[in-house]
Amino acid sequence: MTPSPRDRIDPECLAGLDAMLAASGPGGFAAIPDLVERRRILAELTAAAASTLPAAEGLTISDHLAPRTTATTAPDAGQGPPVPVRVYRPVGAGPRAPGILLMHGGGMVAGSIDQEEAVARRVASEVPAVVVSVGYRLAPEHPAPAAVHDCYAALMWLAASAAELGVDARRLAVFGRSAGGGLAAAVALLARDLGGPALRFQMPLYPMLDDRNTTASSHEIVDVGVWDRAANVEAWDLYLSGHRGDDEAVAAAVPARAQDLAELPPAFIDVGTVDLFRDEVIEYVARLVGAGVPVEFHLWPGVFHAAEKFAPEARISHRIWDVRFAALRAALLT
């Protein structure tokens, strides 16, 4: 008899999952039907978690607004507000540190800069690098490609402000988890297609890549409680304004729909074996390799979606972060 997805989860990760479900209720946060309420609860929990963070010793943190002009974003982006960004700079990093554009998760419909505060601090400190975290607009109020254009505008601002920020514009990377991973992949594609800033590296982590939801894993992960099939279908519907899976989907917002993956920056990509995104990520990695893009890929056994977030003390969560940081250092510090 084939084990259920839950039965395949690493026991230490499973303890973290159960603690999360005890706080959120059955089905996880994505099962809260009202999106406004879902965002409110996530914001409250994020604020509570942030209150336990140690002081940002060794980092200077500042908030900025990245301007949006036709010269700094995609040609069809239209007008929009400046993009909020938060900059994390290691003290003593020197005048030419690597720069990492970080996109938060949340299924394109939730999340914020504050949500990724702990990750941004850790990445900045561990690499070390200047991290620019992006407060992109959310669907359904701002459907695709608003989020992609916001993140690309932030990348253009990072490159243009490199000297002021103490960043080496030749050592830029994009980084994100889940929806943020999908945005990292989309920004890498947009930078290539528009002749934008040259990226040294991309790190889409268990990325949200494909609106079609046709893979085996997209049908398999239905009741784990973290980003199950119903949540993913809902998120793509909201992000693509009801055009999920059809020919009117905004291709720039769906990396898996890109026809050509050649000449993209080297990538590090990972996903768990008990993650809904498992098979679409494997397919994307295979296409990158086939297009000649150097890829380091990790398929983590017994790991569900965002397990390192919900079970941070699990031994495999420590291993996951160690491998990621090693890859970032190898790509950006050598």
- Count of H helices and E strands in the chain? 11, 8
- The residues pairing with 171 across neighbouring beta strands, listed in sequence order, are none
Which own/partner contact pairs does 43-50 have at CB distance under 8 Å and 24+ positions apart? 43/112, 43/114, 43/115, 46/112, 46/114, 46/115, 46/117, 47/114, 49/118, 50/114, 50/117, 50/118
Q: Catalytic annotation on 150? A: no
* Pairing verdict, β 130-134 and 83-90: antiparallel
CA dihedral 242→245→249→250, nearest 10 degrees, is: 110
What are the Cα distances from residue 230, in Å, to 68, 143, 144, 225? 34, 19, 20, 10
Residue owning tokens 């040609």: 75
Assess contact for 21 and 32: CB atoms under 8 A: no
Q: Catalytic annotation on 243? A: no
Of the listed 161, 279, 305, 317, which one is catalytic? 305
Assess contact for 114 and 317: CB atoms under 8 A: no
Of the listed 112, 275, 279, 317, which one is catalytic? 275
In angstroms, the CA 13 to CA 305 distance is: 10
How many CA within 13 A on the CB side of residue 329? 11
Of the listed 112, 178, 217, 218, which one is catalytic? 178
In angstroms, the CA 53 to CA 88 distance is: 15
Q: Catalytic annotation on 63? A: no
Active site residues: 178, 275, 305
